[in-house]
């Protein structure tokens, strides 16, 4: 099936959690399946750091489907014969939704670093805006892995009244010092690249070298130590004689390739804004503090009967970026709020990437959870 | 006590494992204690990636002692009242021993990338050269942590006849794919810095930004996840308003500081040469393959009665860079060669850095081992 990314233009000002206001925003999104008459079969999928609105099926002419095609489609975990699935690109991103590479209508130039700081809550708010635009008043579930899981938890926590359940995969309530540290080194690599030029590189050459290093660091954390060893070990390709420090081990070539392919499809400033949002995400504080948004149907307000809500938390045994212990913290937090939370740790050697690559058990678990709603 | 780094000038050509020949080399070293009449109380200490010959005591005017002062001195693990302790800077380094920042006498210019590739065996050979210069024919023990442990094992394996024992701490027989990956990202950060200029930056501005990122990555792997969390957690310093992506979390400031202080004392090309040597180190292959050096008293030749030799392997429970499993692999390898190997895993939350910072248990274990020789 061929799909395309659509754009929802929000032409009125959009206020962010920081207090800053964007004069207007675009929201890139895709939908799969059909919203039923009762309007109660919608599932919102949230993407991870480098994802986008294209979660499933094929774009015209593409050889690769969307990033979660293994999970979304007829008969799959998110069965498009049953559910109406929505996925949108996050605010601050670079795949159609307004971000630092977008044109600031007030200056006619790319925002760059004048783009306001964004948060995970802002990402969730933008998605709620999209749902409203699509006429979706209620979500059967809000779902995400990694940073997507953070958005899912934020949206569920902020708007429990409109959300029957959440599915949070390989994610956390907040980043640990080590998780912040990995992101910080990536940001530093970008900002150390002279081509970054304080974020003002649009129209010129982008800081590809720095972004590439950032992505290489990321990839180390996405794979388990064991899988990296099995896949690459100490195997070598022919060494480069002119410069011995060029990649020679297979793992070096792999990281090199990941870096190069990433810079073709991602904006360095978006990487800064999005990782900053992830590092500053702290769900418990966020749900207990004062916010600009309406609190009527929030989990923290306990206006809603949370006992009717369900959650599913999934972790992967070899995920050392978002280890199972962080998944169990999510379970504890929502269980204490009376939400009925299920928890599964999937045995796999795929590491953090398992939510994208090792979807066999995940499919069965998600199917079971959704059918029980 | 005040000490100073001395230089041993080797004025004849020095052949490297690659076949390349250096016209002459300098070896920077320090010694502590006194070689006894029998000449059987010498201990060689090998430093890690960013270490140097200054292992203990104070240089004139310094406020900080050498890098392993907790372990070396009167009454300490390496008791300088009993033992004659030697430590030298590795070949390829930048602290007095010949490396890429040294002047090539044939051109009058810094070697840069024309410096030949070096190996862990080359480091061990240079130390043997120094021992010869110092009149030391026999070592009571050869000792090192991290990369220092690799050199210790190489020297013990290559010259078992002159070495009574080894102490290998937080190290490995060879790097895994993940260990190579972390080093590769560091190298890439350096080589992506335009100031690196293919290694030709001496006399100009050095690639500090790239080297700093490399060091930041390293520091993440040196600390345990737990200790980083306890030490920094999610604490913040005042945010930088002009650029929100400047460090704000304490962990970011810590990494920033580590990066900045490192570039003042380390050469970027040395970082490339040394990490390359570490990644290519493979002790078992190295001891079983043909080599240029005399094989008479090698472990692999089994000419020496290895049953009279002892080894001590120490790992740290929270060291995820060189995890205990790699220490146990060292034990297995040398035990199979008939060496009497002791093994201890020290319970600590200090991570890989424990060999430098959490030396209480280590001191007792090393003392016990040395007294049993």
Binary contact (B213, A188; C-beta < 8 A)? yes
Q: How much is the average pLDDT of B194-202? A: 97
Query: For chain A, what percent of residues have pLDDT higher than 70?
Result: 94
Q: Which residue has the higher pLDDT, B242 or B15?
A: B15
pLDDT at A99 over 50: yes
Give pLDDT, residue B296: 45
Average pLDDT value for chain B:
94
> What ipTM does this complex have?
0.93
Query: Any catalytic annotation for residue B279?
Result: no
pLDDT band at A239 (very low <50, low <70, confident <90, very high): low
pLDDT at B89 over 80: yes
**CATH code linked to domain B179-275:** 1.10.1740.110
Give pLDDT, residue A304: 64
Burial of residue B9 (CB within 10 Å: 0-12, 13-18, 19+) is exposed
**CATH code linked to domain A2-175+281-371:** 3.40.50.1820
Query: Any catalytic annotation for residue B47?
Result: no
CA B45 to each of CA A165, B58, B333: distance values in angstroms, whole numbers, following the listed order: 59, 17, 22
Q: How much is the average pLDDT of B144-173? A: 96
Specify whether the CB–CB gap between A267 and A215 falls below 8 A.
no
pLDDT at A355 over 70: yes
User: Which of A113, A173, A181, A321 to probe by mutation at the B interface, max B CB count within 10 Å?
Assistant: A181
Average pLDDT value for chain A:
94
pLDDT at B309 over 50: yes
Binary contact (B251, A216; C-beta < 8 A)? no
Give pLDDT, residue B41: 98
Counting other chains too, the contacts that A113-116 makes at CB distance below 8 Å and 24 or more residues apart are: A113/A198, A113/A199, A113/A200, A113/A269, A113/B243, A115/A269, A115/A273, A116/A16, A116/A18, A116/A20, A116/A22
pLDDT at B58 over 50: yes
Specify whether the CB–CB gap between B88 and B25 falls below 8 A.
no
Backbone angles phi, psi at B109, to 5 degrees: -120, 160
Identify the DSSP state of B282.
B
Q: How much is the average pLDDT of B218-227? A: 96
Give pLDDT, residue B332: 97
A7-48 per-position pLDDT tens digit? 999 999 999 999 999 999 999 999 999 999 999 999 999 999
pLDDT at B301 over 70: no
Give pLDDT, residue B299: 52
Specify whether the CB–CB gap between B6 and B97 falls below 8 A.
no
Contact residues on chain B for A351, CB-CB shorter than 8 A: none
**Which CATH homologous superfamily contains domain B2-175+282-371?**
Alpha/Beta hydrolase fold, catalytic domain (3.40.50.1820)
Q: How much is the average pLDDT of A68-78? A: 98
pLDDT at A224 over 70: yes
A236 lies within 8 A of chain B by CB: no
Give pLDDT, residue A298: 54
Instruction: Name the catalytic one among A146, A165, A270, A318.
Output: A146
pLDDT band at A305 (very low <50, low <70, confident <90, very high): confident
Q: How many Å apart are CA B90 and CA B173, to the nearest integer?
A: 19
Domain segments of chain A: what residues?
2-175+281-371, 179-275
User: Which of A240, A245, A323, A329 to probe by mutation at the B interface, max B CB count within 10 Å?
Assistant: A245
pLDDT band at A299 (very low <50, low <70, confident <90, very high): low
Give pLDDT, residue B135: 96
Q: How many Å apart are CA A245 and CA A291, to the nearest integer?
A: 51
Closest CA to B4 of B137, B135, B74, B95: B95
pLDDT at A234 over 60: yes
Q: How much is the average pLDDT of A337-364? A: 97
Touching A: B residues 114-173, CB under 8 Å: 117
């Amino acid at each position: 099936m061929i799909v395309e990314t659509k754009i929802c233009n929000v032409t009125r000002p959009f206020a962010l959690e920081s207090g800053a206001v964007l004069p207007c925003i675009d929201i890139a999104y895709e939908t799969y399946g059909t919203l039923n008459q009762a309007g109660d079969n919608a599932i919102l999928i949230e993407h991870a750091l480098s994802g986008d609105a294209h979660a499933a099926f094929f774009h015209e002419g593409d050889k690769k489907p969307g990033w979660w095609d293994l999970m979304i489609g007829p008969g799959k975990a998110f069965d498009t014969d049953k559910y109406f699935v929505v996925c949108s690109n996050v605010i601050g991103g670079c795949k159609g939704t307004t971000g630092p590479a977008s044109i600031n209508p007030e200056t006619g130039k790319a925002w760059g670093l004048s783009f306001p700081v964004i948060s995970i809550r802002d990402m969730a708010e933008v998605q709620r805006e999209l749902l409203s635009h699509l006429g979706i008043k209620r979500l059967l579930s809000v779902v995400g892995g990694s940073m997507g899981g953070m958005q899912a938890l934020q949206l569920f926590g902020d708007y429990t009244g409109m959300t029957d359940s959440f599915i949070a995969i390989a994610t956390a309530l907040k980043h640990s010092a080590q998780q912040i540290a990995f992101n910080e080194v990536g940001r530093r690599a970008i900002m150390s690249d002279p081509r970054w030029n304080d974020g003002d590189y649009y129209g010129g050459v982008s800081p590809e070298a720095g972004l590439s290093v950032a992505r290489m660091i990321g990839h180390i954390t996405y794979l388990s130590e064991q899988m990296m060893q099995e896949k690459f070990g100490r195997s070598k390709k022919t060494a480069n004689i002119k410069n011995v420090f060029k990649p020679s081990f297979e793992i070096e070539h792999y990281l090199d390739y990941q870096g190069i392919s990433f810079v073709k499809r991602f904006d360095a400033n978006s990487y800064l804004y999005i990782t900053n949002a992830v590092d500053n995400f702290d769900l418990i504080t966020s749900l207990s503090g004062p916010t600009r948004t309406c609190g009527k149907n929030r989990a923290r307000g306990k206006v809603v009967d949370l006992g009717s809500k369900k959650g599913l938390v999934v972790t992967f045994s070899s995920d050392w970026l978002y280890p199972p212990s962080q998944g169990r913290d999510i379970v504890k937090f929502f269980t204490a709020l009376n939400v009925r939370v299920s928890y599964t740790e999937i045995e796999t050697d795929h590491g953090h990437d398992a939510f994208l690559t090792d979807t066999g058990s995940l499919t069965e678990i998600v199917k079971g959870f959704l059918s029980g709603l």
